[in-house]
Amino acid sequence: MNTSIRGRALTGTALALAVSTLLTACGGEGSSSGTRAAGTASATPAAAVKDPLVATFDGGLYILDGESLKLTRTIELSGFNRVNPAGDKDHVVVSTDTGFRVLDATGQALTDIEYKGAKPGHVVRHAGKTVLFTDGTGAVNVFDPADLSGGKKPEGRTYTSAEAHHGVAIELANGELLSTLGTEERRTGALVLDEKNKEITRNEKCPGVHGEAAARNEAIAVGCEDGVLIYQDGKFTKVDAPDDYGRIGNQAGSDASPILLGDYKTDKEAELERPTRISLIDTEKKKLRLVDLGTSYSFRSLARGPEGEALVLGTDGAIHVIDQNSGEVERKIPAVGTWQEPLDWQQARPTLFVRGDTAYVSDPSGKALHAIDLETGKKITSVTLPQSTNELSGVVTGS
């Protein structure tokens, strides 16, 4: 791949909108849990915020200025919350116990927009649409994120899976909808529907299907316990893992690259496998390459740079910049201290969120958050927060 990185712009690039990101990826087979109280903001008037970031902590959300990292607002929200970009420059989707709630991050307040349902799961952005998958009901909701600006729940496409399961869905540019197949006990593959939700095709040779990513020329991949399943130009293609059990559950894609970045696990019986290898999936050649980083990582470690660079935050504390074509680690950018992935997927661990040419990395052990220039590898700024953070996300800039 082209490993040069365009000159840094803290506000990000238009490419960020096109990238279908696996920061939506899950660590476990369930979603949020815990009790829920209505979100309330701190009494202190909110300061102006530019390109906001949103970080979760035990009991609420922090809203930070994307340039200065200044904490501008604290919103109390009990329970285990998850955050993902909504797809526009103002909003973030918050997964709560009651469903998906929309946060106006620029306005620094939770809106009345909510997609109710038990176990809200994956949030996927692609081709100008945002797709929500509710695990507890199997419901899929598709909307144009530009419609969030009106303050009302957008009208959009809906679909309900045959059975509820921990799934994911993505709408393609031509209106086709790819959605996973499964039950609470077993997940098997994916199907594709036309604009009227009529089935076009399906493939059930993807055991344990989990996660998605989109590559250049709209190649869509979902992970399997024995490789990946790719949908492109109306047909499915299975790319087998080199191991009988070779699970790829979390992926990160980029419109700038035909190659997807994925995790890779081989121990089916492990309570928690801490892998050191990642997968690079060539969606054009339909081949899979494994790369040993020499350090482990977690499901919140995968990201892509503005030109499709493969980025992995290792437990050695560095961001590994990987040449997608050769598989070589070209650079290691120091980010945080050494760490270990906790057994419970809901427990905090360093998290990587990339927007434009800037990598944001959380450091729960130090209650810190860092902004790092991917061009120079230098820290732009850091902040210490009142509490340790867990998940980290933000609005989409450059849109």
Assign 85 to helix, strand or coil.
strand
pLDDT of residue 26: 61
Give 155-164's long-range contacts (Cβ < 8 A, gap of 24+): 157/197, 159/193, 159/197, 162/138, 163/138, 164/135, 164/136, 164/137, 164/138
pLDDT for position 25: 43
The confidence score (pLDDT) of residue 227 equals: 98
pLDDT of residue 139: 98
pLDDT at residue 13 in the model? 37
**So what's the pLDDT on residue 245?**
98
Burial-class residue 135 by CB neighbours within 10 Å (0-12, 13-18, 19+).
buried
Give the per-residue pLDDT at 43: 41
CA distance 62 to 75: 6
Residue indicated by tokens 């990292």: 69
**What pLDDT, on a 0 to 100 scale, did the predictor assign at position 32?**
38
- For the chain, the first-to-last Cα distance in angstroms comes to 25
Q: Which residues of the chain have pLDDT under 50?
A: 1-25, 28-38, 40-43, 399
Closest Cα to residue 298, out of 195, 396, 194, 391? 391
Whole-prediction pTM value? 0.90
Give the type of residue at 376.
T
Residue 339 CA neighbour count, 13 Å, CB half: 27
Query: Looking at residue 48, what is its pLDDT?
Result: 79
pLDDT given for residue 18 in this prediction: 39
